[in-house]
Amino acid sequence: MGRLVALSLLGIGLALLGERFLALRNRLKASREVESVDLPNCHLIKGIEAGAEDIDVLPNGLAFFSVGLKFPGLHSFAPDKPGGIMMMDLKEEKPRALELRVSWGFDLASFNPHGISTFIDGDDTVYLFVVNHPEFKNTVEIFKFEEEENSLLHLKTIKHELLPSVNDIIAVGPAHFYATNDHYFSDPFLKYLETYLNLRWANVVYYSPDEVKLVAEGFDSANGINISPDKKYVYVADILAHEIHVLEKQPNMNLTQLKVLQLGTLVDNLSIDPSSGDIWVGCHPNGQKLFVYDPNHPPSSEVLRIQNILSEKPSVTTVYINNGSVLQGSSVATIYDRKLLVGTLYQRALYCEL
């Protein structure tokens, strides 16, 4: 009788593991293949060879790129080179990417930038917020951008127990931000277990010098985050649930869910067109190819444009798709004056004139 019970329990366990494995493949869109949707007037950006995971553009056309991300389980084309921040002036006739110098005293050797966000203060000071993973830990770095010197002055490193697995960030003050945790745990094995079991413990945290608090939770894997031009709504991409959540910002900085937009792809970082409020999304058509890298079947890229997200029927347009022959693993897309930038997790970046 005892052996029968043990055998039954083993069978139930194996069945559960098999069901979770199939569910994970579905969440990763592991069987999806795409046909390319090309854009004219595009070229790869010289100098970006190992990823531009996130991009943020100032109103004056200066675009910041976080480059060289290393992440457990992800391929890297430059595993021994630290990451950095690059900049491109989109108002130039032929814009070029250049690497910004970082102030003395900051540990550049372990710089591993992920999501980024800019904030312009009332005195026109520009702050750059960077999610950093030195030695695969989690910090948020705040820099002051010094345009005349093309440099970043490091101001502050932020660590907090409510920021165990930070992915992306949106600055809402000179030392204030919302951040996504793509996992509840910081330990790599527990992260994997959390993802495999689909625990939906990922969350969003609000940080200020006076208060740090959890403001939204229940995500499969909270990823990109941004805010509407009128600062009333916060958008969160849940990459493995293929969703964008629209959250209403309250006077106390808490977030309440307003609606969820379902999409058929893995949504990564979100960028906002300040003039229209349109959301531009870098997406992964097949997430499994990101983690099981095969140069003969590389990860594909996809860019979506979402218009009128607050309406009953938002418009979702596929702007660009590539099967990996040009661009692998698109993680962000942003628009400025009919110029489109598309960054990737660990490969190249694309510049297009629309």
The answer to whether 210 is a known ligand-binding residue is: no
Angle ∠(246,252,255) on CA atoms, nearest 5: 20
Distance CA 100, CA 98 (A): 6
Instruction: Give the H or E element holding residue 176.
Output: strand 176-181
Is 114 considered catalytic here?
A: yes
- Eight-class DSSP state of 109: G
Q: Which residue pairs, CB below 8 angstroms and at least 24 apart, start in 290-298?
A: 290/74, 290/75, 290/329, 290/345, 291/73, 291/74, 293/75, 297/324, 298/324, 298/325, 298/328, 298/329
Burial of 129 (0-12, 13-18, 19+ CB in 10 A): buried
168 annotated binding-site participant: yes
| Residue 53 labelled as part of a binding site | yes
Q: Does the annotation place 107 within a ligand binding site? A: no
Tell me 195's DSSP state. Answer: H
Alpha-helical (H) ranges within 95-157 are none
Q: Which of 43, 75, 114, 242 is catalytic?
A: 114
54 is in an annotated binding site: yes
Sign, CA dihedral 146-149-150-155, equals negative
Residue 165 phi, psi (nearest 5): -150, 65
275 φψ region: left (φ > 0), alpha (ψ -120 to 50), beta (else): alpha
The Cα–Cα gap between 282 and 44 comes to: 16
**13: how many CB neighbours lie within 10 A of its CB?**
10
Helix, strand or coil, per DSSP, at residue 187: coil
Using the structure block, give the residue that is written with the tokens 């890297």: 76
**Is residue 268 part of an annotated ligand binding site?**
yes
Pick from 145, 218, 144, 211: which is nearest to 180 by CA?
A: 218
d(CA 350, CA 224): 19
Binding-site members for Ca(2+) are 53-54, 116, 167-168, 223, 268-269
- For the annotated catalytic residues, the residue numbers are 114
